[in-house]
Amino acid sequence: MFLKLETRETGSDVGLSTLACFLLGVVITTLSAALIIAVIVSDKAAPELASLAMQNLNTSGVENPVTAVLLNFRSYDTLLEIAVLLIVAVAVLPDQCFAGKTSLPAKRFLSRNVKHQVNPVLAGLLKWLVPLALLVGGYLLWIGAYAPGGAFQAGAVIAGAGVALSLAGQHDFTWQTTSVRITLSLGLLVFIVVAAINNLITGTTLQYPVSYAGLFILIIEVAATISIAAILLLLFVCLKAIAEPAREGDTQ
């Protein structure tokens, strides 16, 4: 069943026979029923972690408990997550990055493609929407220390602005330049540098001193926002580039 991946649409989208489907349904229904019974009969976990997090909130440097957990108490998770994102980005990077094509002129990250005509209504909308999305992203980043919001949300909103630009087709993104690659890895680099500095100051990795915690978290969050936005945008643009080789060709 996992051997053959179907990529074309068939009439009925089932890769199994009716009998196998039925057996699978029975097994999964039993499993779900067992899990539901387990949830009903078992008590909830004691809220130890919640009270622990709340007690230590004033030493974390931020006021939003989720941000405190993400970037202070459990910052290993976030460090590794940014590393995972970077690995995916490296996997998806366009081939030209490794082929050593030096004939291409060094373009800027965002270049305007005047040949492509867009609907004036769409162009007018984007003129407002993209700065607004950047503003919202910056606001989410800043508010993350006090209220719901933070690096991931801000990065996603900024990447959304880039996706809108890319879909309109009037702008091209270039991933070949060194500065873009530095931008992609900025979050991980800054995170590691801050951890190393912290190690020099306190002797412990990723356990910030109370007086510097707010500053460290802010630095990491700004860098992480930039990288997350760039990586999410890279994922979309690369998928779109595979999806439209013809159009990518005529914009060169």
Partner 1 sequence: MTQDLLYSITGIVLFGIGLFGVIAAAHIIRKLIALNTMGIGVFMVLLAAARHGVVTDPVPHAMVLTGIVVAVAGTALCLWLALQLQLLDSPVPEEPP
Partner 2 sequence: MWAEIVIDVVLAGGVITLAALSLVVRQVFTAIVLYISLGLMVTIIWTRLNAWDVAIAEAAIGAGLTGALLLVAWRRLHEKEDVNDVSEAGNSGNRV
Q: What angle do CA 66, 72, 75 make, to 5 degrees?
A: 95
Task: Verify binding: residue 217, partner 1, rule CB under 8 A.
Answer: no
Selection from partner 1, partner 2, none that 78 binds (CB < 5 to 8 A by kind) is partner 1
Task: Verify binding: residue 81, partner 1, rule CB under 8 A.
Answer: yes
Q: How far apart are CA 157 and CA 163, in angstroms?
A: 10
Task: Verify binding: residue 15, partner 1, rule CB under 8 A.
Answer: yes
Residues 6+ apart with CB under 8 A from 246: none
- Check if the beta carbon of residue 17 is closer than 8 Å to that of residue 25: no
Task: Verify binding: residue 44, partner 1, rule CB under 8 A.
Answer: yes
Task: Verify binding: residue 244, partner 2, rule CB under 8 A.
Answer: yes
Q: How far apart are CA 197 and CA 7, in angstroms?
A: 49
Q: Which of residues 164-183 bind partner 2 (CB under 8 A)?
A: 167
Q: Which range binds partner 2 by CB under 8 A, 11-19, 36-44, 118-126, 195-203?
A: 11-19
Three-class DSSP category at 171: strand
Q: How far apart are CA 222 and CA 226, in angstroms?
A: 6
Task: Verify binding: residue 153, partner 2, rule CB under 8 A.
Answer: yes
Task: Verify binding: residue 124, partner 1, rule CB under 8 A.
Answer: no
Compute CA distances 241 → 14, 54, 156, 171, 174, whole Å.
Answer: 30, 46, 20, 13, 11
CB of 120 to partner 1, least distance (A): 32
Residue 111, beta-bridge partner list? 172
Task: Verify binding: residue 32, partner 1, rule CB under 8 A.
Answer: yes
Q: Which range binds partner 1 by CB under 8 A, 179-187, 193-201, 206-214, 240-248?
A: 240-248
Q: Which of residues 83-142 bind partner 2 (CB under 8 A)?
A: 140
217: nearest Cα among 98, 113, 61:
61
Task: Verify binding: residue 169, partner 1, rule CB under 8 A.
Answer: no
Task: Verify binding: residue 249, partner 2, rule CB under 8 A.
Answer: no
Q: How far apart are CA 161 and CA 147, in angstroms?
A: 23
Selection from partner 1, partner 2, none that 69 binds (CB < 5 to 8 A by kind) is partner 1
Task: Verify binding: residue 234, partner 2, rule CB under 8 A.
Answer: no
Residues 6+ apart with CB under 8 A from 183: 109, 226, 227, 230
Task: Verify binding: residue 7, partner 1, rule CB under 8 A.
Answer: yes
Pairing of strands 171-173, 110-112: antiparallel
95: nearest Cα among 205, 242, 196:
242
Interaction site with partner 1 (CB under 8 A): 1, 5-10, 13-16, 21, 24-25, 28-29, 31-32, 35-36, 39-40, 44-45, 47, 49-51, 53-54, 65-66, 68-70, 73-74, 77-78, 81, 84-85, 88, 91-92, 150, 152, 156, 228, 231-232, 235-236, 238-239, 242-243, 245-246, 249
Interaction site with partner 2 (CB under 8 A): 7-9, 11-13, 64, 66-67, 140, 147-150, 152-153, 156-157, 159-160, 163, 167, 232, 235-236, 239-240, 242-244
